[in-house]
């Protein structure tokens, strides 16, 4: 099945701009009747991924931008987010549910993305992530 809607945009490293593109994607999903539970997960994951790109990837550097590509079909939404940072290694991200990390104020974004989406895939460098949510993926978020 082909894409019924798609766009690409470069946004400045600003969380306000991140909010705008988040709203743009969510409003498109609402317009096609994407399930509310799915929309909840997509919005949450977009927030986490965009903040990661803007804040951690680009270091809020006004000279760096974040690339966002969104594709929507009848079955799913796919978003690619790429920053201009050096990247990171997923293996270096500690498990926020370990006892020694539970009271740390940060480090939960990727866990939440994985819990609420059908697919979260980083490139090797760690500066590009592909997010997918399938319309019929109504399974309860994984606790792993």
Partner 1 sequence: MGSSTRRLDIEEIGDVTIARFIDRKILDENNIQVIGNQLFSLIDEEGRTKIVLDFSNVEYLSSAALGKLITMEKKVKAAKGKLRLCCIRPEIYEVFNITKLNRLFKIYEDQERALEGF
Residues that bind partner 1 (CB under 8 A): 15-16, 19, 22, 37, 40, 43-44, 47-48, 51, 55, 96-97, 102-109, 111-112, 115, 140-141, 143
- Minimum CB separation of residue 111 from partner 1 in Å reads 6
- Minimum CB separation of residue 114 from partner 1 in Å reads 9
CB 75 within 8 A of CB 133: no
- Minimum CB separation of residue 18 from partner 1 in Å reads 8
CB 45 within 8 A of CB 117: yes
The dihedral over CA atoms of 30, 32, 33, 35, expressed in degrees to the nearest 10, equals -80
Give whichever of 27 and 97 is closer to partner 1, judged by the CB atom.
97
Residue with structure tokens 């594709």?
71
The dihedral over CA atoms of 78, 130, 6, 13, expressed in degrees to the nearest 10, equals 130
Give whichever of 98 and 124 is closer to partner 1, judged by the CB atom.
98
Give whichever of 37 and 73 is closer to partner 1, judged by the CB atom.
37
Residue with structure tokens 């927030």?
47
CB 25 within 8 A of CB 44: no
Give whichever of 56 and 73 is closer to partner 1, judged by the CB atom.
56
- Minimum CB separation of residue 3 from partner 1 in Å reads 26
């Amino acid at each position: 099945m082909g894409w019924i809607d798609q766009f690409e945009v470069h946004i400045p490293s600003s969380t306000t701009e991140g909010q705008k593109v988040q709203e743009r994607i969510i409003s498109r999903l609402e317009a096609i009747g994407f399930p509310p539970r799915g929309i909840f997960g997509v919005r949450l994951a977009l927030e986490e991924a965009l903040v990661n790109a803007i804040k951690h990837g680009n270091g809020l550097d006004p000279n760096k931008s974040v690339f966002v590509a969104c594709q929507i079909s009848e079955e799913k939404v796919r978003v690619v987010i790429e920053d201009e940072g050096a990247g990171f290694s997923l293996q270096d991200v500690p498990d926020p549910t370990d006892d020694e990390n539970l009271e740390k104020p940060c480090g939960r974004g990727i866990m939440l993305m994985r819990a609420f989406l059908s697919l979260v895939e980083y490139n090797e460098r760690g500066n590009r992530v592909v997010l997918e949510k399938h319309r019929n993926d109504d399974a309860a978020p994984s606790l792993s």
